[in-house]
Chains A and B, each alone.
Chain A
């Protein structure tokens, strides 16, 4: 697990607290040698069977389906093998191209903003005694479903300045007039991203704040005595020591953003005129709205392939930390 990540720690017999155990690999000989393999089967069988049948098998089936086109509606409709057509079709479909473009926009904007605000908030909150209060406040949206969060932000962005908080404030400011945040193709994506950052930032702040606290105070004190200023301490000590945790936040944000669905579906359903569409939403629409399971499966596979390298960074880190 990440350095400094708030972790649940197992009990110990000694009074010395052990680090959160994250050893991804159990040494070969460690553990109880069961008298027979029957208990092993009883303990592991149900879980492995469920995963094999309801996770692994459907995934393989989806890859298979992505090479077929369905003729007609309903899951019994005949289908024909079409090779890579569903994949090449993704590029020639304007709506899906817009979705891909939007997902990339989300990746390059939401990820850095989340990390920068996360570090900034963590460092600011760290300097006051009542730190737990702002941290809780920023964390509250984590308890709210993306669907409810979508309703909240539709209300915040409502066009009518008698209803929407943002436009109510804008209409009171000199030189500003109410904007149609969700109805204008040039704003809608940024408006959605704002809602997402509000929803997800609390997680980044809490995790980064825990990493910040794990930096030994001796280091910053020593740097201060050597005459380093605040900015030098921040850039030469704080950020490098928090880097492993920052990587976690980057990868998790990227994965979350690639699969963003609930918020967009609740707030705009991809509109206006498809301008805020994203891949996960297009996957849902193609598979269950347009009866195009082949195309939907191809999008699911594209999402999987996009997530693999990001997840690999994470898993690799778990493993190297475990071997320490």
Chain B
């Protein structure tokens, strides 16, 4: 997102439509972008701080242990002091108490300030959880897409056998709970221990075994949903397009590749965005197979501090920020790849 802000060529000031956040007019759009920039600058800095990125840098510079041993500590180390918020909250609390029953409204302000103080102390841990959530989601979406496209093509253009296989896969996956699928992969099939035996996990770019299992699970699950979105998009491509491709002498495969898919995938972007947004939130199920994602971090903090309301409010804001970012970025993508007459965001003329 941070580089996206500069790429807003000639936005029309008279534009008033607002179908997605990215389409908001003038000042409100600026506010959203400013908030997004602050959030992502902070988040990316945190990721650099307590992920292996800086480790690598320091190792290269000849100080291998400077960071590594302290990572656990650094993941909890806040950059924004909590004390001012706490002090302000106390002050407001005193005022509220002095006002007696009328102080209830003022007391709300105290709660907000308390929440801010709490957020500053918990945000570092949540940032590291957000990193796991983002890479689980992004990788699963991309791997899922690689599986979903052939699945969808098989459903629409395949012979009877291919159609049946694709349909069976899709319905089996969509028809069973995602949590059950994850448990099956993690506890049922000992996929995690296999991954560890192979010695294939644990190195910095390759996630811990549980995270690898989660990515496999989400990829399988998401591919089924994505293939449904892509299937309906392919079916909305005029059949005359493939006929014309065949009439020029292209094989069916070439026709699908060069004519149907470039159009169908553009039509699929809104549905695909929907699936992306779902997966950001569904990825919280990874917490139940021990993956330290955003939700698991929140749950841990909750059980340490017993401030369940506060932590779930803060973590909800994190999810909201991720989802809004995705919606805006995908809206941009849709506009960028739009071709006159083939797919565009916003209201039709």
Q: Do A and B come from one complex?
A: no
